[in-house]
Chains A and B, each alone.
Chain A
Amino acid sequence: MTTTSVRPASARRESLFVGALCLAVLAASAAAIGLHRRADDIRSLPAWQIDARSDLTPGEQGVLADLAIAAGEIAWLAEAGALPDVADLAAEGLPPFAPQASDGLRGGHVWSRSGGLYLGRSGDPRVAGSFLMIPGDPPAIWLAPGTADAPADPSQDALRSAGWRQVVSRYEASVTRHDPGAAQ
């Protein structure tokens, strides 16, 4: 541990100590960042997946964040019964199902549920593609360019061949933090 209580003999000594501590912290963090860079522990994704951090438009990132939360809320609602309809979710005030003032800036998606799938059809493919959310633990979120239709077959293979890509958010791909859980 770098922190111990040190009784300063004088203010001068204390500021020297603080200065040294600052240098030590800087050196340690520089070394840590250097190590991480070299380790380059971030695997590249298969072609049918897409990285939420680097490969989505700002509009898509906004919708994704709302959709991930909605998936959590849907899981809580589903504890009480069946999967809620889009109208139920809108009534809860839950974006992206409830209309928001920012919708137009994020692709103007039109949402519908077909069976166990929630489809968000893009209204402006230049701003954002279409989304598909499959509730579960964890939920799966897929993205397709343009104005896609609901897939007849929601299996992973069918989605992949229909041009959908699964959105992947990688918590472990950060240089500030070690994540033992993500190592495997």
Chain B
Amino acid sequence: MISRRLVLAAPAILWAARARAADPLRVGVTLHPYHSWLSNILGPHGETVPLIPEGFNPHAYEPRAEDIRRIDRLDVVVLNGIGHDDFAERMIAASSQPDMPVIEANRDVPLLAAVGGLSSRLGNNRTIGGKVVNSHTFLSVTGAIQQIQTVTRALSGQRPDLADPLRDNARAYARRLRRMRAEAMAGLADLPAASFRIATIHGAYDYLLREFGLEVTAVVEPAHGIEPSPSQLAKTIAAIRDLDVRVIFSELDFPSPYVATIERETGIRLYPLSHIIHGPYRPDKFEVEMAQNYATILRAIREQAA
């Protein structure tokens, strides 16, 4: 029962009334991967507008007046909507278009639970009551394509004149992403089945590692985007040793000094992955950085198998 109910509710009617055929769509996005996807879905039929300026980390972003003003000229905003862009709702509410239609991109994604912070872990409570979802669906090809399908259907429903080109663009882009992943994973065939414990610094890679059938045993950050305190860090290092963690995936774009401490104290190899939230917005950013992420995971598996 993967729900495929209407993604847009009441605001859709408003939108339909406002949108005129032949107008390019102006779509707001909150995070880099969504920018890449929408640029590829829309092609020449629309414009993708990031709500956060380059150089701001969405984990610590507070909306500014000039960013909120950017919403005024949009037709619709695509949301992660499950915890990685909670600021967007406040921005829309504060804008001159508080009834801006939104597309909940994650509506049809099978969500995973957030893995609890290591320092608070007592052994069996793997998730925080099983209720907090992991919001990083955008860091996997599978999560990306599901959201691309959902967004494309929602946009096509509102702009039937663009339905054919948007669907064709979305399918071609999804095919390219699948091929990129297949090529990246091809090297896995020669490797023995991976069975080792994995920790991540930031809880961002569960969806990606699921594509390899791998599970994250523990996350170092006590909460999303929060650094551990010195006492939490000491407990974390002890827990990593107890759990026999072999691989730690760290952050390429926002390294913290405490991560080096973990590496030094435990002797466990760190493999940095990209959260894809840093640098210029580019249509090919998602493909390029995901290919690097797949290569990094493959390297970790190969080195553990050796």
Contact = CB atoms under 8 A, between A and B. Distances in A.
Nearest to B146: A69
B193 A105 contact: yes
B103 to A, nearest CB: 12
Instruction: Name, among B5, B81, B186, B212, the residue most crowded by chain A CB atoms within 10 Å (CB to CB).
Output: B212
Interface residues of A, number: 56
B2 A141 contact: yes
Interface in A157-180: 166-169, 171, 173-177, 179-180
A134 B193 CA distance: 31
Nearest to B91: A3
Contacts of B213: 58-59, 62, 102, 105-106, 127
Contacts of A137: 4
Contact of B1 (A54, A167, A179): A167
| Interface residue range, chain B | 35 or more
Nearest to A133: B2
Interface stretch (B23-31, B62-70, B263-271): B62-70
Contact of A171 (B68, B107, B171, B182): B107
Given A1-B90, A138-B2, A61 B111 contact: no
Contacts of B167: 76
A68 B90 contact: no
Contact of A61 (B64, B108, B112, B149): B112
Given A127-B213, A169-B111, A176 B130 contact: no
A85 to B, nearest CB: 18
Interface stretch (B39-47, B131-139, B253-261, B281-289): B131-139
A93 B185 CA distance: 13
B110 A53 contact: yes
B63 A3 contact: yes
A102 B2 CA distance: 23
Contacts of A181: 5-6, 9
B188 A102 contact: yes
B211 A102 contact: yes
B53 interface: no
B113 interface: yes
A182 B7 CA distance: 11
A41 to B, nearest CB: 10
B54 to A, nearest CB: 20
Contacts of B59: none
A100 interface: yes
8 contacts: A69-B149, A93-B175, A98-B182, A104-B193, A138-B1, A141-B1, A171-B107, A174-B111
